[in-house]
Structure 1
Amino acid sequence: MKEAMTSVDIRYIVKELRELVGARVDKVYHEGNEIRIKFHKAGEGRKDLIIEAGKRIHLTTYIKEIPTPTSFAMLLRKHLGGAFLSGIEQHDFDRIVKLSFRDYTLVVELFGKGNLVLVGPDGLIIAALRYEEFRDRAIKPKVEYKFPPSRESPLEVSWERFRELVASDDSEIVRVLARKFSIGGLYAEEILLRAGIEKGRKARELTEDELRKIFETMKGLFSAPKRPSIVYKDGQMVDVVPIELKWYDGYERKYFETFSEALDEYFGKLTVEKAKAEKTRKLEEKRKALEISLERIREQMMAFEEEAKKNQELGDLIYANYSLVERLLEELRAAVKKLGWEELERRVEEGKKTGNKAAEVIKGIHPSENAVTVEIDGKAIKLYLNRSLGENAELYYERAKRAKAKLEGARKAYEETKIKIEELERLIEEEGKKVGVKKLERRKKKWFEKFRWFISSEGFLVIGGKDATTNEMVVKRHMEENDIYCHADVYGAPHVVIKDGRKAGERTIFEACQFAVSMSRAWGQGLYSADAYWVYPEQVSKKSPAGEYLPKGAFMVYGKRNWFHGIPLKLAVGVVKYEGDELVMCGPVDAVKAHTNRYVVIRPGDLKKSELVKRIKKILEGWGYKVPEEDLMAILPPGGGEIVEVVG
């Protein structure tokens, strides 16, 4: 089972993670070898990047609860908090990833024990997960960060250099590829499988054509299209890979849209299982001890049952052969009185040698116990000469009784132990549910959720920009000739578009204009009303008057504007059903009211936005809706507010 990402894995994941560029660091969490960076990406919301030193880096939905930040987490928050990710790249073809921020670089080492190193703008180390010294470099504060010596990259190596490195080596070709190009055994075997070369052949014995075939196959493999999957064998995960591998032909596979999703599913499940094991370790040890005890009790029960049965049968045997046993007791008593134990034993042994049937009945003589073991009906039974027939029988019945009593005690102990095991299993299951790792279940967001949006009371979709980038997208990418464009008479207000708006009534157009003023800076300024207008798409242009420049997100509006004056800044928040999903929506009160009978009415106020979010979240939870705070933060207008009314 894979425990750490390879250089090939890192090559593919870094390509995906470049979509994070431009995201802002919200929080940093640290526990053990793991760092989780909670990013916020404009238009997309929360993104959690998990980094486990020496093992992995990818986006995750498995969130570990870490109540108290460590000193390392606090240091990273101090330097990276609020910073924007400006770049992410793999160093050469090594298991090293560099996350670049404005003034800092976070170097992620995914080889060996691994490390995370924060490097300042001067190239000096500010802090690291662990401080170490090597022959050629040191990880210490105020020391220049140096990368470890690199090996040949299979992506950049030339044919001449490849031949030079491989052709003269006396090792097996699979080992040469894995060692000299840092690709690991799996990919070395995959290359040779695709090239049709036996992996055990010596590298120096390969022909020029065979070497060329391996070289071209290697280049092609690492340029293969991405097709992430988790590989299973007998229902158990064995690997997670970014591309299709012939090596795993015949294995069960589960495919994913992104490599991050595959890695998250793979390592996330391992993390949960590890956390569960740690959480329930002591309980599991108790259960194991009880299971051993249960098996021992079961064996005792079998022994007691056998003992009771045996003694009961021997007691019954005495009475079933009453005359024979009575005669044997009388004859044996007389023989002992006349001959003594030693002479009796000698005569019995001689009789057995001559085939004397009376002697053959005697199986053992026990002078110290004043007893003789005889065979009756094929069973050996010890008879005590100083006891009567009834006393001998009663002796066996008493033994059977004691064995039965012990058996009942053992059965009771067995049932009690089973109950204890069942109780422990229940506790283990409950503790497992309490494990400090939870999976954020995120539905796939609809295309319009990257913008501000609402569904009008007449059922029309209305979208608006959040910033310069999304404002540009709303107009240039999503506004079509059948739409309506709305804008507040406030500097920096969002561009708002009613999709298919030419079919909309005045009610929808008014709601869109109210949305435009409420989502503008007027809200943060505490205004209670503002003006807005609407026009047709052909009146909106990026073409500026001569000598003027329009910045990103700005447009010119030409021709007649249709005004609404004194529009109140008031919105509502509720959960609505749309296109098969339940979505939390913030829009004009009439619009929200048309789609749900439970909603919270808000207007500009002195309550901080973060506190307003918490209060709305609590109200929604009371109605049975679990809405993440970041989702509410994304849909509410900029600035503080207050709750005017709670309906429902």
Structure 2
Amino acid sequence: MDPKRELTSVDLAALVGELDTYEGAKVDKAYLYGDDLVRLKMRDFDRGRVELLLEVGETKRAHTVAPERVPDAPGRPPQFAMMLRNRLSGADFVDVEQYEFDRILEFVFEREDGVTRIIVELFGQGNVAVTNGEYEVIDSLETVRLKSRTVVPGSRYEFPETRTNPLTVSREAFGREMEESDTDVVRTLATQLNFGGLYGEEVCSRAGVEKAMDIADADEAVYDRLYEATERLALDVRNRNFEPRLYLEDDAGDGNDGEAGDGGEGNDDSSSGRVVDVTPFPLEEHAELAADPYDSFLSALDDYFYRLELAEEEEPDPTDQRPDFEEEIAKYERIIEQQEGAIEGFELEAEAMREQAELLYAEYGLVDDILTTVQEARAQDRPWEEIEERFEAGKERGIEAAEAVVDVDGSEGIVTVDLDGDRIDLVAHDGLEQNADRLYTEAKRIAEKKEGALAAIEDTREDLEDAKRRRDQWEADDGDENEEEADAEAEDTDWLSLASVPIRENEPWYDRFRWFHTSDDYLVIGGRNADQNEELVKKYLEPGDKVLHTQAHGGPVTVLKATDPSEASSSDIELPETSIEEAAQFAVSYASVWKDGRYAGDVYAVDSDQVTKTPESGEYLEKGGFAIRGDRTYYDDTPVGVAVGIQCEPYTRVIGGPPSAVEGEAATTIELEPGRYAQADAAKRLYREFRERFADESFVRKIASPDRIQHFMPPGGSRIAEQ
């Protein structure tokens, strides 16, 4: 797993509880390193020197560090550091708070001449804002001008919009947040309840709830278990029941069971391995990782980021050593074996469910007698204990229906029957048909899991073949590639004339959709069919994203992503107009507009929160369709335009999309326009043209087959545009 580089909201909630023990310390000096690391040097009368680091760049953290670990003071202090010294020198540290459940810390300092607040934003681009006691911004590392908020000197600091705090949410509000979701349980906890990915999974594990359970399948009992797990976690934070852990992976990427050793305060050499996470208490999600215990979360954070920096400084150049292909191949073979076992299990489980449903119908009279007996008794307010006693008495008299009953669970309203040696749970208040339908539905759900597993195993087999191919290529080259050529910058390399272009393959998660990166490096993805359109809206649409669609019927759902799905989504990101215009051209080019031979069409754009799968009353949405609430921004007469190119750096692959976005990323491109050649025929023409352009024809053959080129072409006829 990749090492953690940003503190979570749960981390900050725990962190505040330890930082406030330093209240009363006096500030000596402030430093700024680069443009994202602030250091405050303080004196605590009980503990002596205190060093506080606030970093808001690629790494986002806030914690104290051992004095011997602070970086050397930079040269001439910049204006921001001078401003901090002028306002904080001799000031008392009086308070630290987390804003709501957001990744924002507010530090408060007091001096005779006034109050200074340092607000540290540990999300998105990151920021440190310095305000007076009335929240008027004195200065900030980054100027923020978004539709939703502004952070500029002279203005009042504006916090982001308040989000749900899962550590204080009521049971009723928790249930409403879950009910309003249209995805699975873990994604709902991560986004709607703002737990983030890791703690969303942790709550599921602690509650014993399947992470991938669709929210539609979750009932009140599931919600109760999840809420209880959330309350226990919140209680640990409020009562400071911390047992900090620093988690490690060994060099092979696998953890070890159990605790690795004693961490304690400032322990640099507690256990070997690569640090990957640090948490205020042990996590079930990390049960397979080696773990160092610590006395305080602050000391664990200090060690974690110190060791992370050391590991990055000492990390060897991967080009100097042979990758462990054998271990990678063995890993994929193990995964395939597990997946094959899971598929077989799904098949058996689904078949067992179907057989149970058929048994109910085969024993229709018997099962109906049992359910009718229970329902009539409950209608007369008979207690469950009495119902169970009646079945026991019936067994003694040899009544067949009573003999089939093996258990009565009044707490769950379940009656378990034995039919031909199969034990089947019946929901007592439902009829036979409803119980059978429930079993058939469950069998269908399990069969769908099998389909997902089949798709996953194909992906793993492709990964396995890729690892074998890379191993064979390495051995054929004998590791004797020209290092200067491999490390050359793309703009300094004449890829077309190279006799041998090194292959660097990458298959991103979005590769099965239509996609491109805008000139501003934002990802745009579009559906290839109704199923993918449906999937994009349901699974990948996040706050801050833009959705674009043509006015004409038959276009792809086009999503301009503000963040990657692995990142925390934010509605505060202001997407550049150039990116929106390129996304609009993408939407119109891969729609029926191109297929009809037209050269322009109208496109509209809306925010993600305007898109819903719930139709207006009396209306119906087809698969892949969606409804829009609110105003639309129109891009009239948007010209079509598609270029297909071959990228050589950082990856070797075919790319395609609006010419303005593709041309800067590819070694060579071919621009298309609507024309008379069928898609497959046009793709072959492009393939031949690319082979003629590259000296290394085998390179084109390996990464840019006609099928792969066709993957990036619009539907309908095309031709090469005249240059």
Bigger Rg, which one: 1
Same fold, judged at TM 0.5 (above)? no
TM-score, normalised to structure 2, is 0.38
